[in-house]
A and B are shown apart, each in its own frame.
Chain A
Protein backbone atom coordinates (compact mmCIF):
# COMPACT_ATOMS: atom_id res chain seq x y z
CA UNK A 1 0.00 0.00 0.00
CA UNK A 2 1.35 3.41 -0.93
CA UNK A 3 2.33 5.61 1.94
CA UNK A 4 3.18 9.10 3.00
CA UNK A 5 4.64 9.07 6.47
CA UNK A 6 4.99 12.07 8.74
CA UNK A 7 7.49 11.56 11.49
CA UNK A 8 5.45 12.92 14.39
CA UNK A 9 1.75 12.81 15.13
CA UNK A 10 1.89 15.41 17.92
CA UNK A 11 4.57 17.96 18.77
CA UNK A 12 4.81 20.61 21.45
CA UNK A 13 7.51 23.23 21.01
CA UNK A 14 8.45 26.49 22.66
CA UNK A 15 8.32 29.90 21.06
CA UNK A 16 11.59 30.64 19.27
CA UNK A 17 12.61 27.02 18.77
CA UNK A 18 13.65 25.73 15.37
CA UNK A 19 11.24 22.97 14.38
CA UNK A 20 11.65 20.25 11.75
CA UNK A 21 8.68 18.37 10.34
CA UNK A 22 9.63 15.37 8.25
CA UNK A 23 7.70 13.69 5.47
CA UNK A 24 8.67 10.57 3.56
CA UNK A 25 6.86 8.92 0.64
CA UNK A 26 7.54 5.52 -0.87
CA UNK A 27 5.76 5.99 -4.20
CA UNK A 28 8.57 7.60 -6.18
CA UNK A 29 6.40 10.68 -6.61
CA UNK A 30 7.95 13.79 -8.10
CA UNK A 31 5.69 16.30 -6.38
CA UNK A 32 5.48 16.92 -2.66
CA UNK A 33 3.50 19.51 -0.73
CA UNK A 34 3.18 20.99 2.73
CA UNK A 35 -0.16 22.39 3.86
CA UNK A 36 -1.42 23.69 7.14
CA UNK A 37 -5.01 23.13 8.16
CA UNK A 38 -6.91 25.50 10.43
CA UNK A 39 -10.63 25.49 11.31
CA UNK A 40 -12.65 27.65 8.96
CA UNK A 41 -9.66 28.22 6.66
CA UNK A 42 -9.26 24.79 5.13
CA UNK A 43 -5.89 23.66 3.79
CA UNK A 44 -3.46 26.37 2.80
CA UNK A 45 -0.34 25.64 0.78
CA UNK A 46 2.95 26.56 2.44
CA UNK A 47 5.54 25.18 0.00
CA UNK A 48 5.76 22.57 -2.68
CA UNK A 49 8.50 20.79 -4.57
CA UNK A 50 8.40 19.24 -8.01
CA UNK A 51 11.86 17.71 -8.00
CA UNK A 52 14.87 17.15 -5.80
CA UNK A 53 16.33 20.45 -4.62
CA UNK A 54 13.50 22.34 -6.32
CA UNK A 55 10.96 24.25 -4.29
CA UNK A 56 8.31 26.87 -4.78
CA UNK A 57 6.46 29.09 -2.36
CA UNK A 58 2.81 28.47 -1.82
CA UNK A 59 0.28 30.91 -0.47
CA UNK A 60 1.61 31.31 3.08
CA UNK A 61 5.41 30.70 3.10
CA UNK A 62 6.31 33.36 5.66
CA UNK A 63 8.08 31.90 8.67
CA UNK A 64 8.73 28.57 6.93
CA UNK A 65 11.39 27.01 4.77
CA UNK A 66 11.73 23.58 3.18
CA UNK A 67 14.37 21.11 2.14
CA UNK A 68 14.27 18.35 -0.42
CA UNK A 69 17.66 16.66 -0.68
CA UNK A 70 16.22 13.28 -1.70
CA UNK A 71 13.20 12.48 -3.82
CA UNK A 72 11.38 10.63 -1.08
CA UNK A 73 11.84 13.18 1.70
CA UNK A 74 10.41 16.69 2.06
CA UNK A 75 11.10 18.60 5.26
CA UNK A 76 9.30 21.65 6.57
CA UNK A 77 11.31 23.95 8.82
CA UNK A 78 9.97 26.56 11.18
CA UNK A 79 12.98 28.80 11.66
CA UNK A 80 11.71 30.37 14.89
CA UNK A 81 8.41 28.91 16.01
CA UNK A 82 5.66 31.29 17.02
CA UNK A 83 2.27 30.68 18.63
CA UNK A 84 0.47 31.56 15.40
CA UNK A 85 2.10 28.53 13.82
CA UNK A 86 0.12 26.23 16.08
CA UNK A 87 -1.77 24.14 13.55
CA UNK A 88 -2.22 20.79 11.86
CA UNK A 89 0.42 20.25 9.19
CA UNK A 90 -0.29 17.90 6.31
CA UNK A 91 2.21 16.56 3.84
CA UNK A 92 1.12 15.15 0.47
CA UNK A 93 2.67 13.75 -2.66
CA UNK A 94 1.55 13.20 -6.22
CA UNK A 95 2.84 12.10 -9.58
CA UNK A 96 2.48 14.38 -12.58
CA UNK A 97 -0.54 13.44 -14.67
CA UNK A 98 -1.75 10.95 -12.09
CA UNK A 99 -5.29 11.98 -12.73
CA UNK A 100 -6.91 9.08 -10.98
CA UNK A 101 -5.87 9.66 -7.42
CA UNK A 102 -4.86 13.26 -6.85
CA UNK A 103 -2.77 13.56 -3.73
CA UNK A 104 -1.78 10.96 -1.21
CA UNK A 105 -1.72 12.53 2.23
CA UNK A 106 0.19 11.78 5.38
CA UNK A 107 -1.65 11.48 8.67
CA UNK A 108 -0.70 14.96 9.78
CA UNK A 109 1.38 16.51 12.55
CA UNK A 110 -0.47 18.54 15.14
CA UNK A 111 2.00 21.18 16.29
CA UNK A 112 1.43 23.27 19.39
CA UNK A 113 3.75 26.20 20.04
CA UNK A 114 3.69 27.44 23.63
Chain B
Protein backbone atom coordinates (compact mmCIF):
# COMPACT_ATOMS: atom_id res chain seq x y z
CA UNK B 1 0.00 0.00 0.00
CA UNK B 2 1.31 3.43 -0.95
CA UNK B 3 2.06 5.70 1.98
CA UNK B 4 3.63 9.01 2.93
CA UNK B 5 4.94 9.57 6.44
CA UNK B 6 5.88 12.92 7.93
CA UNK B 7 7.91 13.63 11.04
CA UNK B 8 7.72 15.11 13.51
CA UNK B 9 3.94 15.39 13.81
CA UNK B 10 4.29 18.59 15.81
CA UNK B 11 7.04 20.99 16.65
CA UNK B 12 7.37 24.10 18.81
CA UNK B 13 10.26 26.50 18.22
CA UNK B 14 11.14 30.13 18.94
CA UNK B 15 11.49 32.88 16.42
CA UNK B 16 14.85 32.80 14.71
CA UNK B 17 15.27 29.04 14.99
CA UNK B 18 15.86 26.82 11.96
CA UNK B 19 13.57 23.83 11.49
CA UNK B 20 13.72 20.73 9.31
CA UNK B 21 10.57 18.83 8.44
CA UNK B 22 10.81 15.31 7.10
CA UNK B 23 8.78 13.37 4.60
CA UNK B 24 9.40 9.76 3.60
CA UNK B 25 7.39 7.83 1.08
CA UNK B 26 6.68 4.42 -0.35
CA UNK B 27 4.77 4.98 -3.57
CA UNK B 28 4.88 2.48 -6.40
CA UNK B 29 4.49 4.98 -9.23
CA UNK B 30 6.20 8.14 -8.04
CA UNK B 31 5.77 11.20 -10.25
CA UNK B 32 6.50 14.15 -7.98
CA UNK B 33 6.55 15.29 -4.37
CA UNK B 34 4.81 18.42 -3.24
CA UNK B 35 4.86 20.57 -0.11
CA UNK B 36 1.93 22.69 1.03
CA UNK B 37 1.44 25.15 3.87
CA UNK B 38 -1.94 25.22 5.58
CA UNK B 39 -2.91 28.03 7.92
CA UNK B 40 -6.54 28.59 8.81
CA UNK B 41 -7.90 27.87 5.38
CA UNK B 42 -6.88 26.23 2.14
CA UNK B 43 -3.46 24.62 1.79
CA UNK B 44 -1.22 26.74 -0.37
CA UNK B 45 1.41 25.38 -2.69
CA UNK B 46 5.08 25.69 -1.70
CA UNK B 47 7.21 23.38 -3.86
CA UNK B 48 7.03 20.60 -6.38
CA UNK B 49 10.07 18.30 -6.60
CA UNK B 50 10.68 15.76 -9.31
CA UNK B 51 14.45 15.35 -9.48
CA UNK B 52 16.87 14.17 -6.80
CA UNK B 53 19.41 16.52 -5.34
CA UNK B 54 18.10 19.77 -6.81
CA UNK B 55 17.23 22.21 -4.08
CA UNK B 56 14.25 24.48 -4.53
CA UNK B 57 14.22 27.75 -2.63
CA UNK B 58 11.69 30.43 -1.88
CA UNK B 59 12.89 33.05 0.58
CA UNK B 60 13.63 31.35 3.89
CA UNK B 61 12.12 28.04 2.75
CA UNK B 62 13.96 25.37 0.84
CA UNK B 63 13.36 21.75 -0.03
CA UNK B 64 15.22 18.85 -1.55
CA UNK B 65 14.32 15.37 -2.71
CA UNK B 66 16.27 12.11 -2.45
CA UNK B 67 14.69 9.54 -4.77
CA UNK B 68 17.16 6.86 -3.82
CA UNK B 69 16.38 7.01 -0.10
CA UNK B 70 12.74 8.02 -0.76
CA UNK B 71 12.50 11.14 1.33
CA UNK B 72 12.33 14.89 1.20
CA UNK B 73 13.08 17.64 3.70
CA UNK B 74 11.64 21.10 4.06
CA UNK B 75 13.89 23.63 5.78
CA UNK B 76 12.76 26.91 7.23
CA UNK B 77 15.49 29.28 8.41
CA UNK B 78 15.09 32.27 10.74
CA UNK B 79 11.54 31.21 11.59
CA UNK B 80 8.84 33.83 12.21
CA UNK B 81 5.47 33.58 13.94
CA UNK B 82 3.87 33.74 10.50
CA UNK B 83 5.44 30.38 9.71
CA UNK B 84 3.12 28.74 12.24
CA UNK B 85 1.00 26.33 10.20
CA UNK B 86 0.47 22.74 9.22
CA UNK B 87 2.97 21.63 6.59
CA UNK B 88 1.71 18.92 4.27
CA UNK B 89 3.80 16.61 2.16
CA UNK B 90 2.19 14.76 -0.73
CA UNK B 91 3.36 12.40 -3.45
CA UNK B 92 1.74 12.37 -6.86
CA UNK B 93 0.67 8.93 -7.99
CA UNK B 94 1.92 8.54 -11.54
CA UNK B 95 -0.21 5.52 -12.38
CA UNK B 96 -2.80 7.70 -14.10
CA UNK B 97 -3.17 11.17 -15.56
CA UNK B 98 -5.45 12.35 -12.80
CA UNK B 99 -2.63 13.61 -10.62
CA UNK B 100 -3.92 11.90 -7.52
CA UNK B 101 -1.97 12.98 -4.44
CA UNK B 102 -1.17 10.80 -1.44
CA UNK B 103 -0.75 12.94 1.66
CA UNK B 104 1.22 12.47 4.84
CA UNK B 105 -0.24 13.24 8.25
CA UNK B 106 1.12 16.77 8.27
CA UNK B 107 3.54 18.50 10.65
CA UNK B 108 2.09 21.19 12.90
CA UNK B 109 4.67 23.91 13.47
CA UNK B 110 4.23 26.52 16.17
CA UNK B 111 6.68 29.41 16.26
CA UNK B 112 6.69 31.33 19.53
CA UNK B 113 7.78 34.99 19.75
Cα distance, A100 to B6, chains bound together (Å):
22
Inter-subunit contact B98/A96 (CB<8 Å): yes
Inter-subunit contact B99/A106 (CB<8 Å): no
Contact pick for A90, options B32, B42, B90, CB 8 Å: B42
B interface residue count range (under 10 / 10 to 19 / 20 to 34 / 35 or more): 20 to 34
Cα distance, A18 to B101, chains bound together (Å):
28
> B74 near A: Cβ within 8 Å?
no
B1 to A: closest C-beta gap in Å:
9
B residues less than 8 Å from A108 (CB atoms): 41-42
A residues less than 8 Å from B105 (CB atoms): 40-42
A73 to B: closest C-beta gap in Å:
18
Inter-subunit contact B48/A100 (CB<8 Å): yes
Complex A-B: 9 CB contacts under 8 Å = A31-B99, A43-B101, A45-B101, A56-B98, A100-B48, A101-B45, A101-B48, A102-B90, A106-B42
Residues of A near any B CB (own CB < 8 A): 4, 31, 33, 35, 40-45, 48, 50, 56, 58, 90, 94, 96-108
